[in-house]
Amino acid sequence: MVPVTAGLAGAVAAAVIVAVGIRSPAPRRPGHPLAEPAETRVALGQARLASMVQRALPHRHLRRRDAQLPDALDRLASAMRAGRAIGPALGELASSAAEPLRSDLQPVTLALTHGTPVAAALAGWAARPGASADVRLVVAALTVGARSGGEVARAIDRIAATLRERREVQREVHALATQARTSAGLLAVAPLAFAALVSTIEPAAVGFLVATPLGLLCLALGLSLEGLGATWMARITRGAS
């Protein structure tokens, strides 16, 4: 499934590149006030392409990207302990990371290559569509480290540990919410199953429910309470998830 999705993402990226190339204006004369270097136009086009592909990625890829962050931070901290600065360490991480984190880091390394300050490049990562709370937390820690220096590798280790603990809590909450939804579904279906069972054992009871005014009143009241209970349990389990 992942190779198929990656192939679709590649096809989308290729189509967008062709579209950007078709819509690109003709090169302006040197010295024109609006003229832009070719490298700048390429950089802007790649950044725009990355943003468009990021918006097209399904949510499961974004969750997979967040799951890759703790291990990536471990490698980043190791590189910084070896004497790398944040900028070069991010470049090495982007080249060695797996998808979809690699595509997420490429605009950051591209901006650093063109002379953008580390804090500004990281801020662009946090501001892109699809940036989660985990990404913003990583960006905040790296930005503080880039500005103040100090024990950056140790801070990155703590962020990685925090992200792992958060994912453990999220998995536990998801499991409990799934269990609550299953229980709610069983409670909602149980009265209907019991009514179907009674209809096979005592058909006269079904005749009373559907053929007499009092039975119809009881049936309407029971279905209304059943719907109210199902709605209430759905709200509770939705809040738990």
pLDDT in tens, 152-177: 888 888 888 989 998 888 888 888 88
Instruction: Say what the pTM is.
Output: 0.53
| pLDDT at residue 181 in the model | 81
pLDDT tens string 3-35: 433 443 444 444 443 344 434 444 444 444 444
**Radius of gyration, CA atoms only, the chain:** 28
Cα of first residue to Cα of last residue in the chain, in angstroms, is: 26
126 exposure class (CB count in 10 Å sphere: 0-12, 13-18, 19+): middle
Tokens of 157: 């280790």
Q: Comparing 84 with 5, which gets the higher pLDDT?
A: 84
- pLDDT attached to residue 129: 83
